[in-house]
Structure 1
Amino acid sequence: MKIASLVVRAKPEHFVSLQERYRGIPGVQVHACCERSGRMVVSVEDGEGYAVTDSILAVSMAEHALSVTLAFEYTDEGLELQEA
């Protein structure tokens, strides 16, 4: 499992078009928008047939996205249960 949380900066008048664009990117969800600060909180989760990195790239390359900051990232790859 891989999960990432992103903060997207955009002009508030472009929030609707960005949300529509992000709905078409696998594993992407928009959780919050703040028109006052021009920020959106977006999460990306992996799934069958696509990579989180590709979805993050698509979010950052979307028209009207001014900047994207990776706020949180988690992966359980390589984790194994260890006995104490």
Structure 2
Amino acid sequence: MKIASLVVRAMPRDFPEVQEALRRIPGVELHGASAETGKIIVTVEDGEGWSVADSIVAVNMAPKVHGVTLAYEYTDEGLEHLEA
């Protein structure tokens, strides 16, 4: 499992269009938005047929998105090799 949290920056007047575009990207879930700061908070989770990296690129390329900040990333890959 891989998960990432992103802060998406956009103009508040564009939020409806940006949010609709983000909802169409596999693995993306919207969690909140602030018109005062121009930020939308999303998480991205991998799934069958897509990767977190692909979805992050799609978020960055979505229409009217001005920028994306990776706030958090987690993967459980390789944990089975760690000794307790």
TM-score range, shorter chain: over 0.9
Aligned length: 84
Matches within 5 A, 1:14-33: 14-33=14-33
- Distance in 1, matches of 2:83 and 2:69, equals 37
Matches within 5 A, 1:27-66: 27-66=27-66
- Distance in 1, matches of 2:29 and 2:82, equals 33
1:79 alignment partner in structure 2:
79
Gaps of 5+ in 2: none
- Distance in 2, matches of 1:56 and 1:80, equals 26
Residue 82 of structure 1: how far off its partner (Å): 5.0
What TM-score, normalized to structure 1?
0.94
- Distance in 2, matches of 1:2 and 1:22, equals 18
- Distance in 2, matches of 1:38 and 1:45, equals 23
Measured on the aligned residues, the alpha-carbon RMSD in Å equals: 1.2
**Equivalent pairs: percent with the same residue?**
60
What TM-score, normalized to structure 2?
0.94
2:70 alignment partner in structure 1:
70
Corresponding residue SS for 1:80: helix
Please identify runs of 4+ aligned residues in structure 1 that moved more than 3 A: 81-84
- Distance in 2, matches of 1:56 and 1:82, equals 28
Q: Which moved more, 1:74-83 or 1:24-33?
A: 74-83
Residue 81 of structure 1: how far off its partner (Å): 6.3
Residue 28 of structure 1: how far off its partner (Å): 0.2
